[in-house]
Amino acid sequence: MKKKQGITLIALIITIILMLILAGVVISLALGEKGLINIAKYTVQKNNETSSREKLEILFLNMQAEKEININYNKDKYLTSKIEEQNMTIIDEDIVLVNGWMFRDR
């Protein structure tokens, strides 16, 4: 008689248990409080905030350059027109809404 070698039931159960443990670790790393998905969401949020802030800073830099080269420069007219062009909103004298982010003049 030939010996037949095969996987035993105990080895199969141990393998399944190890795979379940590994799956649990991977799921907790992906979905946990400091998991990859939450980190990705936070990173996207910070990226959007930074992009909006840079958009506003570029507007002010352009405003300063325009002030230097244009003799007929009018701050209010320039600022209002450029803010409308960039789809920004002035909420108050010192608050501007850019892509859903509010920035206050310090």
Tokens describing residue 77: 């007219």
Using a cut of 0.75, tell me whether the model's pTM lies above it: no
Look over the chain and give the mean of its residue pLDDT values, rounded to a whole number: 85
Q: Specify whether the CB–CB gap between 56 and 96 falls below 8 A.
A: yes
CB 98 within 8 A of CB 106: no
pLDDT tens string 23-65:
999 998 888 888 888 999 999 999 999 998 898 888 888 888 8
pLDDT, one tens digit per residue, over 61-75 is 888 888 888 888 887
Residue 93 above 80 pLDDT? no
What confidence category does residue 106 fall into, taking pLDDT thresholds of 50, 70 and 90? low
